[in-house]
A = this chain, B = another copy of it.
Amino acid sequence: MHFTSEQRLDDGVLEREFTLGEIPGILWTPGSASVPAPLILLGHPPLGLRKMYPRLVARARHSAAEGFATATIELPGSGDRPRWPAGEQARADLRRAMEAGAPVSDEIVDALILPLVDKAVPEWQAVLDALLSLPEIGGPVGYSGGVISLGIRLAVVEPRISAAVLFAGSFVPRAMFEEARQVTIPLHVLLQWDDEGNDRQAALDLFDAFGSKEKSLHANMGGHTGVPQFAGDAAAQFLTLHLK
């Protein structure tokens, strides 16, 4: 892990950009951490880190105030990272279907999501290895937000993640419902009740499928990007409760 830039934000939070092999990312650590900090892996939609930065840094600052380190990575195929042809094809097919008001087929959803999960999860795990080797980062580790299928896979394969906030706001391949049954960590699931293009019933079915004994669904009014402040705060509280 190479740190490529470093700046101290006005609230004392240390923001460092890094690369791990071909994976770029950002790490935020609290200004005054006397002991190794617990860690939140911060997911986001595949729109590129640069575009997502304002929302990500706001959440990282909030978490730093609670004593957490926060890290995020550029997803494969996003930002300046190389695309893959099947992924580009799936995005084009999705756009076409949505513009035509046509249902989005299982094939499109699978092509869009499954390769992303297959590529991104081992990257997150490699980044997690590197982060936990830093003296300023301890544990436990939580995951929050982003592409829900990615959060599901991580929760299943990565035993170091002990709680997750998942956002039911993206297409979910059928195969992920089976993986959801294997999730056992505490979950806090956010759903925007009027999310355009998100299938509410599928989100409820997915919540039902999770194997976790402790899981709660938090549905709020508004569209995809309209998660209310109080709902974000409650999700942060959930992580604080489980990781500290």
Contact = CB atoms under 8 A, between A and B. Distances in A.
A221 B230 contact: no
Contact of A221 (B215, B218, B221): B215
Interface string A213-238: 11111111100000010110010001
A193 interface: yes
* Copies of this protein in the complex: 2
A218 B216 CA distance: 7
A241 interface: yes
Given A215-B220, A217-B219, 8 more contacts: A193-B208, A193-B217, A207-B219, A214-B228, A216-B228, A216-B230, A217-B218, A217-B220
Main secondary structure of the interface of A (DSSP, over half): mixed
Interface of A: 193, 204, 207-208, 212-221, 228, 230-231, 234, 238, 241
B231 A220 contact: no
Contacts of A231: 216
Nearest to A188: B230
A95 to B, nearest CB: 29
B219 A230 contact: no
Contacts of A220: 215-217
B215 A218 contact: no
A233 to B, nearest CB: 9
